[in-house]
Amino acid sequence: MIANHLARALLTAIGTLAESVESGWDTERTGLNTLEGIAYLLGQMNSDERQEFRDLLEQVAAAEPERAEFIHGLPGALGLDGAS
């Protein structure tokens, strides 16, 4: 279920960012590690879940046109364009 993948990815981001603030970590390394963790977790989605994720991103992009270009680029940036 896509909600499980999204929740785990969100928890990874929140947990890492919260810990980095508390610990004073190198923000560049922390950001890169967080993105890699999110990409790994979302990469576990099957092809139907990836399509559902892309559909959700389309809805968000339509509602937030100022960020639409960034949103449209996320699947590729996270390595989710290929088959699972």
Per-residue pLDDT of the chain (84 residues), as tens digits, is: 799 889 889 988 888 888 887 777 777 788 888 889 999 999 999 999 999 999 999 999 999 999 999 999 999 988 988 655
pTM value is: 0.78
Q: What is the Cα–Cα distance from 28 to 43, expressed in whole angstroms?
A: 22
* pLDDT of 33: 85
Residue for token pair 């949103």? 71
Domain boundaries, the chain: 2-77
* Helical spans, DSSP H, in the chain: 2-23, 27-42, 47-63, 68-77
In whole angstroms, how far apart are CA 53 and each of 18, 21, 30?
25, 29, 25
Q: What is the Cα–Cα distance from 68 to 65, expressed in whole angstroms?
A: 5
